Structures are given as structure tokens and as C-alpha cells.
């Protein structure tokens, strides 16, 4: 008998009868907040997790991000070229001529050295955000490579306020993500960190030391 069968047989033989009461209290419906409230909470939680937030509009976000990079000395950025946000930053990049924008076009095997040793920042977008925890939901794939948000020391991430949800159950439910789970779905809440040495918090353990979230709000009233 294979190990598989042996294990399953044992489990079937000794299983306990199903619990008689309903097994799970229905999850409390999450209180849905207004966009402005979600923006406030989301920003607050990201700050608490040591992330930086740039609140911008659809018109000025590229300029604001470019200025941020310039001011913080980021001059090499990798991005996904086949995305709307990638193309937007590409066409705005002339405002920062020293910037080396590199498209993530090759397989990691080819660009690994560059990615690990030369690129300062990865730029991508999040599909959703969770206000209650300051979390970004990133659907990786052909247009959003996994290493983009992981290897370079800074990670810049774009998100629209309309994609904010109150909490994780609401985000999972509303995005219907379970029907189309990507290779790797990520929830990111701040820059990489550790408290493994004497409970002292240190950032940039293995992933990005800096997380910069560009939050696009549609209307003045959504600003905080």
C-alpha cells in the first residue's frame, strides 16, 4: 500500500463524527466604510507599518512619483512595460532625464544579476487595498512579476482609492479572486521587517526596506 493510501485509510478509519451543531458562526458582515474613511484608515495603517504614502490624482501621480524618486536618490527603476501604469510612467519619464527606466521583459534567469545588484526600485500596481490593516493585494503574473515587489530595496506601488475595501473578507468577496487565483497572490503590509534580534524592530530584512504607496483619489473629498 502506498503512503498516500495508508494515511488516507487511517484517517478514514478513525475520523470522528461531524460536529452536530452548525460548525461555524456566520461571519459578521463587515461594516462598509465610505471611500474617504477607507482612505484615512488605509493611510494611517500604512504609516504605522512604516510605509510612505503619496496621495495623488489621476493627473499628477506620475509627476509626484518621479519627484519622490528624484528627491530620494532613486535613479534606476524596473517596471512592467505592458501595463497602463508602466506606460504612463514611461511617457512621463522625460521630466526626470537621469532616471534609468528598465522594462522587466526578460526571464529572471537573464536579468537576475541586474535585479539583485543594480536596480534600486521596483514599480508596480495593486489590484486592491484593505483599509483595516493597510494591506495591498497584489496579483502577480505576466504583467506584475513577483520579484518586482521583492528584490529591489525600494518598492513603489500604485493603487486607486476605488479599489479599497474595509477588510480582508470583503476584499476576497468583492474581487471574487478565488475564481481566478494567480500563480502568486500577495498581501503586502509595509516594508520587510524583523524583530528577531532582541525584539528590536529593523526594516529591510530581506525584501524592500522602503515601501512607497501612490494612492490615487478621484475627488477632492476623498483626500485626507
| Interaction residues for another protein, span 115-174 (CB under 8 A) | 116, 132-133, 135, 140-142, 145-147, 150-151, 167-169, 172
Closest to 72 (Cα-Cα) out of 208, 216, 223: 208
Among 67-75, 90-98, 203-211, 215-223, the segment contacting another protein (CB under 8 A): 203-211
Greatest distance between any 2 Cα atoms in the chain? 70
224 touches another protein by CB under 8 A: no
What is the C-alpha separation between 182 and 179, in angstroms, rounded? 10
Going by C-beta distance under 8 Å and a sequence separation of 6 or more, which residues neighbour residue 82? 142, 143
**Quick one: 16 or 91, whose CB is closer to another protein?**
16
Min CB(211)–another protein separation in Å: 9
Length of the chain: 224
Closest to 129 (Cα-Cα) out of 218, 192, 34, 39: 39
Min CB(101)–another protein separation in Å: 17
105 touches another protein by CB under 8 A: yes
17 touches another protein by CB under 8 A: yes
What is the C-alpha separation between 164 and 166, in angstroms, rounded? 7
In the DSSP assignment, the letter for residue 144 is B
176 touches another protein by CB under 8 A: no
Using CB under 8 A, pick the residue from 54, 88, 99, 186 that binds another protein.
186
Angular region, 107: left φ>0, alpha ψ -120 to 50, beta rest:
beta
Using CB under 8 A, pick the residue from 86, 124, 152, 191 that binds another protein.
191
What is the C-alpha separation between 149 and 147, in angstroms, rounded? 5
Among 36-44, 64-72, 109-117, 121-129, the segment contacting another protein (CB under 8 A): 109-117
Using CB under 8 A, pick the residue from 43, 83, 154, 192 that binds another protein.
192
92 touches another protein by CB under 8 A: no
Q: Which residues inside 26-65 make contact with another protein, applying CB under 8 A?
A: 27, 45, 49
Using CB under 8 A, pick the residue from 35, 99, 101, 187 that binds another protein.
187
185 touches another protein by CB under 8 A: yes
Residues 70 and 120 sit within 8 Å (Cβ to Cβ): no
Using CB under 8 A, pick the residue from 86, 122, 152, 208 that binds another protein.
208
Grid look-up 524583530 returns 195
What is the C-alpha separation between 42 and 215, in angstroms, rounded? 10
How many residues bind another protein (CB under 8 A)? The answer is 73
Amino acid at each position: 500500500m502506498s503512503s498516500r493510501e495508508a494515511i488516507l485509510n487511517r484517517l478514514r478509519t478513525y475520523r470522528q463524527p461531524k460536529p452536530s451543531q452548525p460548525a461555524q458562526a456566520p461571519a459578521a458582515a463587515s461594516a462598509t466604510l465610505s471611500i474617504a474613511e477607507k482612505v484615512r484608515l488605509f493611510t494611517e495603517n500604512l504609516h504605522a507599518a512604516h510605509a510612505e504614502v503619496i496621495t495623488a490624482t489621476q493627473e499628477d501621480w506620475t509627476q509626484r512619483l518621479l519627484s519622490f524618486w528624484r528627491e530620494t536618490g532613486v535613479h534606476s527603476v524596473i517596471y512592467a512595460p505592458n501595463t497602463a501604469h508602466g506606460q504612463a510612467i514611461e511617457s512621463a519619464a522625460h521630466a526626470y532625464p537621469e532616471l534609468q527606466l528598465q522594462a522587466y521583459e526578460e526571464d529572471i534567469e537573464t536579468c537576475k544579476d541586474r535585479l539583485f545588484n543594480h536596480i534600486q526600485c521596483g514599480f508596480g500596481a495593486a489590484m486592491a487595498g484593505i483599509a483595516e490593516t493597510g494591506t495591498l493585494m497584489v496579483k502577480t503574473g505576466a504583467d506584475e512579476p513577483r520579484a518586482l515587489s521583492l528584490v529591489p530595496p525600494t518598492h513603489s506601488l500604485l493603487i486607486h482609492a476605488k479599489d479599497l475595501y474595509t477588510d480582508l473578507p470583503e476584499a476576497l468577496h468583492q474581487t471574487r479572486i478565488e475564481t481566478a487565483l494567480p500563480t502568486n497572490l500577495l498581501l503586502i503590509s509595509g516594508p520587510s521587517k524583523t524583530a528577531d534580534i532582541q525584539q528590536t524592530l529593523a526594516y529591510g530584512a530581506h525584501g524592500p526596506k522602503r515601501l512607497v504607496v501612490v494612492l490615487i483619489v478621484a475627488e477632492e473629498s476623498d483626500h485626507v
